[in-house]
Amino acid sequence: MSELNEVLVSLEEVQEQIKMGELLEQLHRSPAFKKLIGEGYFKTEAQALVGMMAHPMQDMAKQQIQSKMIGISALQSYFNMIHRKSETAKASLLEHNIAIEEISAED
C-alpha cells in the first residue's frame, strides 16, 4: 500500500471517529435520552442500586445488583471512550490533511 493510501485509510478512520463523537453529542442533546438514560439510568437507577446494597440480602441478590451497577458504569465508560476518540481524531484531522497535501505535492 502506498504512503498516500495509508494516510487516506487513516483519514477515513479519523473521520469515522469524529462522526461517532457527533452522533454521541446528538444523543446527549436528545430530551428523551436525557430523561431515560441521563436521569433515569445513570442517576435514579444507580442511586437505587447503591441504596439496595446497604440492606442485608443473599449473596445472589448482591451479585445481581453489582452486575447492574457494572452495566451502568460500562455504558458511561463506552460514551467516554467515544468522546475521547473523537476529540483525539479532531486534533489529528489537520495533520492528516497536511500529510495528504505533502504526499500529493511530491508526486
pLDDT tens-digit readout, 10-42: 888 999 999 999 999 999 999 999 999 999 999
Is residue 59 scored above 80 in pLDDT?
yes
Q: For the residues 96-103, what does the mean pLDDT come to? A: 78
CA 2 to each of CA 37, 47, 68, 102: distance values in angstroms, whole numbers, following the listed order: 45, 54, 48, 14
Instruction: Name the amino acid, one letter, at 67.
Output: S
Q: What is the pLDDT of residue 95?
A: 83
What does pTM read for this prediction?
Answer: 0.81
Q: Cell triple for residue 1?
A: 500500500
Q: What is the pLDDT of residue 85?
A: 96
Q: Cell triple for residue 7?
A: 494516510
Q: What is the pLDDT of residue 9?
A: 67
Instruction: Say how far apart CA 99 and CA 74 lie, in whole Å.
Output: 36
Q: Which residue has the higher pLDDT, 102 or 41?
A: 41
